[in-house]
Amino acid sequence: SLNTQRIDHIYESPQIKNPKFILHYGDLTDSMNITKIIQQCKPDEIYNLGAMSHVKVSFDTPEYTAQVNALGTLRILEAVKLLGLEKKTKIYQASTSELYGGMSENKNKGCYNESSEFYPRSPYGVAKLYGFWITKNYREAYNMFVCNGILFNHESSRRGETFVTRKITRAVAQIALGIKDKIYLGNLDAKRDWGHAKDYVRMMWMILQSEHADDWVIATGVGKTVRDFLVNAFLVLGIHIKFEGSGLDEKAYVTHCTKDEYKLEIGKEVLSIDPNYFRPSEVDTLIGDPTKAKEKLGWFPKYSFESLIKEMVISDVKLFKDHYRAV
């Protein structure tokens, strides 16, 4: 299916002179297709962000996840090598914090850097681990300029609707506007390092402009729980909530509202726990240590946790207001 809604605002017809970019039909499971596109473009830089990227869904589609996330990376690397572009084309491989998976001895420390051990705990993480090591292998075996960026969670108002952050901001907007009754979530205590996609994409570009090919952690160094994200999302709209109960019986209720536009009933239940949203193997804490990126590349995140959430919530409020105004 054609899925271009995230780029429609900047896309121009390829028939016009000097379009901003050109789209190609591609599939990371098709070696000949990938090779043909690279042969046509002869790119200076490739950013491989293609993946089956939903960790929970990877448990349901483990073989497909491996085909795209693991072998898809290999297909790009091998195409560049076979086409004789090793000296021309730099490659950025999007690795993931899920490589770490929450090593038991590091769990309390919570912070991972480029030297930390890997222990993936999902088919997504395992497939990405292959992508990481095959990238490193091609760099060392063929002297190619290929880099891994180990990205921790990166979000924006364009985040997919099935990911927990966007699911929260959409639901908060709907609840505040009276469109939805409440939100269902899983593990509220999972702690993640959430940054803005704009900061992380800037770092991706900086990685390929560096003097030497290397592997880099991209993170903020700050850990927040899903519970923190939910509380801050409601606060953007002046809605205060409290939690009662524990485990699967935990719920959240409105305590008071400070903005006249979003007056919810005091005591209204806005959260319930759904066991279907728990992973078969949970990863409790993933926080990155971006010291290397800061010291060697001068990269620092510009967006805070709170400003990221505010941007996402306000965007979703506008989205639903515009939708119902059009209807």
What are phi and psi for residue 224, nearest 5 degrees?
Answer: -135, 150
**Which one-letter amino acid corresponds to residue 29?**
T
Residue 193 CA to its chain's centroid (Å): 11
Q: Is 112 helix (H, G, I), strand (E, B) or coil?
A: strand
Helix (H), strand (E) at residue 148: strand 146-151
d(CA 274, CA 59): 18
Q: Is 117 helix (H, G, I), strand (E, B) or coil?
A: coil
d(CA 55, CA 65): 10
**Pair 239, 262: CB distance under 8 Å:** yes
d(CA 234, CA 173): 8
Report the candidate in 35, 215, 68 with the shortest Cα–Cα distance to residue 135: 215
**Which one-letter amino acid corresponds to residue 320?**
F
The stretches of the chain forming alpha helices (DSSP H) are: 31-41, 55-58, 62-65, 72-82, 123-142, 164-176, 197-209, 226-236, 291-292, 305-326
Q: Is 91 helix (H, G, I), strand (E, B) or coil?
A: strand
**Pair 216, 96: CB distance under 8 Å:** no
The number of residues in the chain equals: 327
User: Which residues are the active-site residues?
Assistant: 96, 98, 124
